[in-house]
Amino acid sequence: MAGPINWLSQVASVTKFGLLGIPQRRGSVAAAVIGIAGVVGVLIGVLSMAVGFQRAMRASASADAAIILRSGADSEMVSGFALDETKVISDAPGLARNAQGSMASAELFVIIDLLKRSTGTRANVPLRGVGPAAFGVRDHLKIEKGRAFGWGRNEVIVGVGAAQEFAGLEVGSTLKVGRQEWPVVGTFSAGGGTAESELWTDATVLQEAYHRGTSFQSVYAKLSSPAAFLQFKDSLTSDPRLNVKVLRQAEYYAEQSTVLSTLITTLGYLVASLMAIGAVFGALNTMYSSVSARTREIATLRALGFGAGAVVVSVMLESVALALAGGVLGAGIAYLACNGFHTATVNWQSFSQVTFAFTVTPFLLAQGIVWATIIGLVGGLLPALRAARLPIAAALREL
């Protein structure tokens, strides 16, 4: 037992030497630590954007939620139904039902131009006409301020994301769209989902305003159970009166968010990898200078009988400790600067804005720390080997 304990105490004393020397080398140590903090910060910051966007898209969809579009349409924008088709859909088996009838909301989806606060330029904001079942079909839907719009009236309610990102949507103000005026009577939240980016009104009112007759674009439905999906889907797709495609909402939103989140994630890793290489150079610089500043001490310890292994391990430990400090710093900055940062981007599939908040998850933080550790290990290895290989006699002669 004496061997390993002795070895450990050797590691501990060499490491202590290194760490105590840090104040004398604070410039070079700070450069390495901040370099690593930069890598971790950028990595987490960029990835939190992708995570936030995906969350917004996926929070919308519970397992028992389905969306029905015209066959061949890949978004609501290009889909279309006549009134009698939506009636056939809402009679289909597998739908959840309540006192008011089946849980299917036939909806209309148009776009209006509003000014985006962050850029001062106009953006495509979705204006959705919904049916009475809409509030039950979506989970977590809640009026936050004001009240719901009145059925049959030219009134809108505004998702909390939209209210924050776009100008002119305060409760009590009036939205002018073309020659129509729409008083804003309330705001609503939807558990972080895409509905929060939208403006809602009564579908029949919107049909009139947009000269759409009695046509709709999509049907949002809640199933009696997640397992009822297949039965529901088969009954609709085999119905000769209909030409539709039926999707779980989760699939629908996943399809819409894949392109953008892949793009952001790829760019994030690319930039962070390059920065990591730069940070490795910084760490190498710092650790080499740490080793060379202690040439004599290390040589003395070796002459006293300390093993080469202990020296390698202790230099690596020092390097990893600095890297971890950088990692924690970077993760902290990224968390403070990015988490909850609200923004909006365009979803090209639906041709409209989606608001979302950057989300720093524990997984991202852990990923940042892992990156920092790897940079520390790589940056410490070569200087550690150099320290271990120091010719003892020559180093002591320098005294």
Partner 1 sequence: MSFAHLVWSNLKRKKLRTLLTVLSVTIAFVLFGLLSSIKQALTGGVSLEGANRLVVQHKVSIIQLLPVSYKARMERIPGVAAATHQTWFGGYYQDRKYFFMQNPVVPEEFLEMHPELILPPEQKQAWLRTRTGAIVGRKTAERFHWKLGDRVPIQTPIWTKSDGSTAWDFDVVGIFDGKEKTDDTMSFFFHYDYFDEGRARGKGEVGWFTIRVKDPAQAAAVAKLVDQEFENSAEETRTEPEGAFLQAWVKQIGNIALMTAAILGAVFFTILLVTGNTMSQAVRERTGELGVLKAIGFTNGRVMALVLAESCVLAALGGVLGLGCACILVPALAKPLSTMLPMFFFPVRDLLAGSGICLALGVVTGVFPALQAMRLRVADALRRM
β-pair partners for 353: 346
Q: Which stretch binds partner 1 (CB under 8 A): 2-10, 118-126, 132-140, 246-254?
A: 118-126
Please select the residue that binds partner 1; options are 111, 228, 374, 377, rule is CB under 8 A. 111
- Angstrom distance (rounded) from CA 128 to CA 157: 10
When asked if residue 46 is in the footprint of partner 1 (CB under 8 A), the reply is yes
Tokens of 333: 């900055």
| 186, 147 Cβ separation under 8 angstroms | yes
Q: At its nearest, how many Å lie between partner 1 and the CB of residue 139?
A: 28
* Non-local CB neighbours of 84 within 8 Å, separated by 6+ positions: 241
Please select the residue that binds partner 1; options are 230, 274, 366, 370, rule is CB under 8 A. 274
Grouping H, G, I as helix, E, B as strand and the rest as coil, residue 101 is strand
- The distance from CA 16 to its chain's CA centroid, rounded to whole angstroms, is 40
When asked if residue 110 is in the footprint of partner 1 (CB under 8 A), the reply is yes
Going residue by residue from 307 to 346, which x/- string records binding to partner 1, judged by CB under 8 A?
------------------------------------xxxx
Instruction: Give the closest residue to 280 by CA, choosing from 383, 162, 194, 157.
Output: 383
Instruction: Give the closest residue to 81 by CA, choosing from 206, 215, 247.
Output: 215
Please select the residue that binds partner 1; options are 52, 131, 192, 282, rule is CB under 8 A. 282
Burial class (CB in 10 A: 0-12, 13-18, 19+), 181: exposed
List the Cα angle 200/243/196 in 5-degree steps: 20
Between 45 and 146, name the residue whose CB sits nearer to partner 1. Answer: 45
Q: What is each CA distance from 90 to 67, 114, 179, 296, 310, in whole angstroms?
A: 12, 33, 33, 84, 74
Going residue by residue from 224 to 253, which x/- string records binding to partner 1, judged by CB under 8 A?
------------------------------
Q: Which stretch binds partner 1 (CB under 8 A): 98-106, 184-192, 227-235, 347-355?
A: 347-355
Q: Which stretch binds partner 1 (CB under 8 A): 39-47, 134-142, 198-206, 369-377?
A: 39-47
Please select the residue that binds partner 1; options are 214, 231, 285, 300, rule is CB under 8 A. 285
When asked if residue 44 is in the footprint of partner 1 (CB under 8 A), the reply is no
Binding site for partner 1 (CB under 8 A): 27-28, 30-31, 34-35, 38, 41-42, 45-46, 72-74, 77-79, 110-113, 116, 118-119, 121-124, 177-179, 259, 263, 267, 270-271, 274-275, 277-279, 281-282, 284-285, 288-289, 343-346, 348, 351, 353
